[in-house]
Amino acid sequence: MKNIRDEFPALQQKVHGKPLVYLDNAATTLKPQSVIDATERYYSTDTANVHRGVYLLSERTTEAFEGARIKAQLFLNASEPQEIVFVRGTTEAINLVAASYGRSAIRKDDEIVLSTIEHHSNIVPWQLLCETTGAKLRIIPVNDRGEILANEYEKILNDRTRVVSIAHISNAIGTIHPVKKMIQLAHRYNAVVLIDGAQAAAHISVDVRDLDCDFYAFSGHKLYGPTGIGILYGKSKLLEKMPPYQGGGEMISSVTFEKTTYNRLPHKFEAGTPSIAEAIGLGAAIDFIHNIGLDAIASHENELLSRATHAIQDVPGVRLIGTAEQKGAILSFVMDGVHPHDIGTILDREGIAIRAGHHCAMPTMQRFQVPATARASFACYNTEAEVDSLVSSLLKVREIFH
């Protein structure tokens, strides 16, 4: 653990005179030195555009950039590199699929299926598509623990179902959805399935071929990588049929004023100069995760979650929101008589960083009849001592307000 923590410069600082306890990993993770070095190296010595340069710097940069694509392919166990599209993050990936696949495949009265506990980024793009096509949203309910009601999901699926888009892990309450089974059911109706993997990719092993999902998306900044970079995986047969998402350089094969022909995959969806340093940094982040091992990360985070779940329930007035049997390393809670923002502010004075609010998941808050929650989320560098600091600080919050 010390070796891992030493990799993160941010953990060496103090906040309000106390050692930083960073528990907002579901929002974004801290960055290891290897990722910082990879991005700095690009800006320091290898600054060049990719693909079109015939000089050494461009060739080195192109090799590193496309090497990151291969790392992402292997990370997800995709069949080939052309199934990996660089995007700005999960949000853009979902928007790309909604705009491109949706524009070509969705018609009036078609149905798009989401769950009650989705991030806004997996709701709004589909709403926009429905407004322009006349398609309809169908929403899968969840129980009081935050788990998908499997029977209701099966009832919703029908011959009009065209898309099922669902989070692998809920960002607001941590539920791990049974996505493999849900994909199998959706495919019975020839629906395509997009999995929002923003909260999953850094925490559990993902094999897109085993899942048989049609699309999978994740963000680099939640994976110990830079901001402004992410991955959209798509099956080649679908990506080939989809029209371009944006027009410009890189995504073309030839241009005349009469007609434009488009580049091959994945470049058809990567218009303009890409986020080069960020993609290289994402490759370094994937290397960092491989060096530790996702199984080891998942085991460690599960231990932290179990410890925190049991300990926090001993704090008077605290109620957990989201108690699914299968959960990611996310603990969402409320405290009687205390607004989550006040919890977050007091914990900050103790050096503890958590998230407080609706977590870009307002329908989730409405389902559980709370305006907001406090959320602690764990990563590979967090420790049992930090969990204990969280709980003891919550006791201080309780003393202040009661």
CATH no. for residue 247? Answer: 3.40.640.10
- Indicate the SS3 state at residue 165: strand
Instruction: Report, as an integer, the average pLDDT of 299-322.
Output: 96
Residue 357 region, left (φ>0) first, then alpha (ψ -120 to 50), else beta? left
The structural domain count of the chain equals 2
50 and 17 part of one domain? no
pLDDT tens-place string over residues 131-155: 999 999 999 999 999 999 999 999 9
The verdict on 179 and 227 lying in the same domain is yes
Please indicate, yes or no, whether residues 258 and 144 belong to a single structural domain of this protein. yes
Section 266-283 average pLDDT: 94
Three-state secondary structure call for residue 209: helix
Q: Does 152 lie in the same domain as 76? A: yes
pLDDT of 183-223, one tens digit each? Answer: 999 999 999 999 999 999 999 999 999 999 999 999 999 99
Q: Are residues 209 and 345 in the same domain?
A: no
| 131 and 247, same domain (yes or no) | yes
What CATH number is attached to the domain comprising 15?
Answer: 3.90.1150.10
Residues facing residue 87 across a β-bridge: 230
In contact, 165 and 196? CB cutoff 8 Å:
yes
* CA distance linking residue 401 with residue 294, whole number of Å: 40
Residues 233 and 372 in one domain: no
Question: 94 and 45 in one domain?
Answer: yes
The residue-averaged pLDDT of 287-310 equals: 97
Domain range for 212: 35-290
Among the candidates 290, 321, 340, a domain finishes at: 290
- If asked whether residues 195 and 277 sit together in one domain, one would say yes
Mark whether 325 and 203 lie in a shared domain. no
Q: Which amino acid is at 334?
A: V
- Domain boundary (240, 269, 290) is at 290
SS3 call for 395? helix
As a whole number of Å, the CA-based R_g of the chain is 22
Query: What residues are labeled active site?
Result: 360
Average pLDDT, the chain: 96
Q: Do 345 and 305 belong together in one domain?
A: yes
